[in-house]
């Protein structure tokens, strides 16, 4: 089985971005994203109503990091430490060398290639450093922007579950995309 350890917290860099730990002082930016109905439209989670809701979310995120069960990065521009989005590896299955990737971005930064750059950085970290064999992404089939992002990064549609999730009085479809690390090896893994 894989050994996962996020201490010290892995800060990731790309050309334009820095992915760092989400901190309590990011509460205003997290609240702005998680309280925005347009941003949360395809994410079946309650909207943040207060900054305390956002702080509670940050605490849950950091508990996962501390317990080595999930990791969530603040997406920032390399030139500015302000959180503009988040990207995570969650629902880790070390016994299967598989994890789920998720992401969210402040709409002011849409259509700038930021999430594509962040996703490429996290894919590389997941495969090269953590040694996962596969990544999956669970999306709403109507979220065409997320679907295009995944396809651009070589994710393949694995499944379309009809009316799988019940949220806010309606049944929602879930689509799973996956990416296999063709270079991974589990030789010697017992």
β-bridge mates for residue 105, sequence order: 85
β-bridge mates for residue 21, sequence order: 73
pLDDT at 176 over 80: yes
pLDDT at 190 over 50: no
CA distance 91 to 178: 14
Q: In angstroms, what CA-CA distances link 169 with 32, 38, 45, 85, 165?
A: 25, 18, 13, 28, 10
Contact yes or no for 122/73 (Cβ under 8 A): yes
CA distance 32 to 43: 15
Q: Could you give the dihedral angle defined by the CA atoms of residues 56, 59, 64 and 68, in that order, rounded to the nearest 10 degrees?
A: 180
Q: Helix crossing, 144-152 with 114-124: angle to 10°?
A: 50
The per-residue DSSP string of 69-82 comes to S-EEEEEEETTEEE
What pLDDT score does 38 carry?
A: 94
Sheet with 12-13, side-by-side order of all strands: 12-13, 17-21, 71-77, 80-93, 98-105, 134-139, 170-180, 156-167
pLDDT at 184 over 80: no
What pLDDT score does 132 carry?
A: 97
The DSSP letter of residue 106 is -
pLDDT digits (tens, 9 = 90+) for 130-162: 999 999 999 999 999 999 999 999 999 999 999
CA distance 182 to 22: 31
Domains identified in the chain and CATH numbers: 12-135 (3.40.630.30)
Q: What number is the average pLDDT over the span 2-31? A: 97
pTM score, two decimals?
0.94
Q: How confident is the model at residue 186 (pLDDT cuts 50, 70, 90)?
A: low
CA distance 22 to 35: 17
Residue 33, token pair as written in the block: 């994203």
Q: Please report where in the chains the tokens 């909207």 appear, as a residue.
A: 47
20 phi and psi angles, rounded to 5 deg? -130, 175
What pLDDT score does 1 carry?
A: 72
pLDDT digits (tens, 9 = 90+) for 31-90: 999 999 999 999 999 999 999 999 999 999 999 999 999 999 999 999 999 999 999 999
């Amino acid at each position: 089985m894989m050994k996962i350890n996020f201490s010290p917290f892995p800060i990731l860099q790309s050309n334009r971005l820095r992915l760092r730990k989400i901190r309590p002082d990011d509460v205003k930016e997290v609240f702005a994203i998680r309280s925005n109905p347009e941003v949360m439209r395809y994410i079946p989670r309650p909207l943040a109503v207060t900054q305390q809701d956002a702080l509670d979310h940050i605490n849950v995120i950091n508990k996962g990091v501390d317990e080595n069960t999930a990791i969530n990065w603040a997406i920032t521009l390399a030139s500015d430490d302000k959180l503009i989005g988040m990207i995570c590896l969650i629902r880790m299955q070390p016994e299967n060398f598989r994890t789920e990737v998720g992401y969210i971005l402040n709409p002011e930064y849409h259509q700038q290639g930021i999430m594509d750059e962040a996703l490429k950085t996290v894919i590389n970290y997941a495969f090269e450093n953590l040694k996962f064999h596969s990544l999956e992404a669970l999306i709403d089939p109507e979220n065409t922007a997320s679907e295009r992002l995944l396809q651009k990064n070589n994710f393949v549609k694995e499944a379309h579950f009809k009316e799988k999730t019940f949220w806010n009085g309606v049944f929602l479809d879930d689509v799973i995309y996956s990416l296999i690390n063709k270079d991974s090896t589990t030789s010697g893994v017992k």
